[in-house]
Amino acid sequence: MKVEDLGLVPYERIDAILEEHIPLAKKEDHLLLCTHLPVYTIGSQPYACDLPLVPTDRGGSVTYFDEGCLMLYFAFKVPSPARFYAKVIQAVQNFFNTFDPAIAYDRKRPGFYIDGQKIASLGFRYKNGASKHGVSLHIAPDLGAFNRIEPCGLKGVRATSLQELGFTLDIPRAKELAIKVVKDVFKA
């Protein structure tokens, strides 16, 4: 697995970066880590609001990203989307187990939650046998901006973060831990 730390990337550029990596996934999996400037994005499910939304081809509805969200983009060869997705879920669960095992995946409302509050979002698309898009881990985002929407269009759900839960973690350390759990689960 090749790991690339892209740093701070405007969201509008990430699609082109992922498209460049999809053909490469046939030979080697690529895990891309980055943060984004503040942006609201919309996936395949509609969401009505008065905020500017950047369209994307991932699944899901509306979400928010900023420098406090660690993005894990997967450009992986995927012979079985179900097995791949299960491994992503396991890696993210392992990440959060480091802090609080009560943070868990919810199959009915895809994402990770604690006390009904969303702390990680997942959105994927599969193209030419490879994965595209990934996971947003809420390390220390601007929750005021985040909670101007209903994360993923889920009524009554609010976003939370590791910072709000009282955990001290910066993005560089979060990247180290994320790389470790992804490599462990994908045996890379």
Q: How far is CA 53 from CA 105, 113, 141, in A?
A: 26, 24, 18
Nearest to 138 by CA among 90, 76, 66, 77: 66
Q: What is the CA radius of gyration of the chain?
A: 15
152 is catalytic: yes
Give the span between the Cα atoms of 41 and 51, in whole angstroms.
Answer: 10
Neighbour count for residue 50 (Cβ, 10 Å): 6
Catalytic entry in 34, 49, 69, 152: 152
The set of catalytic residues is 152
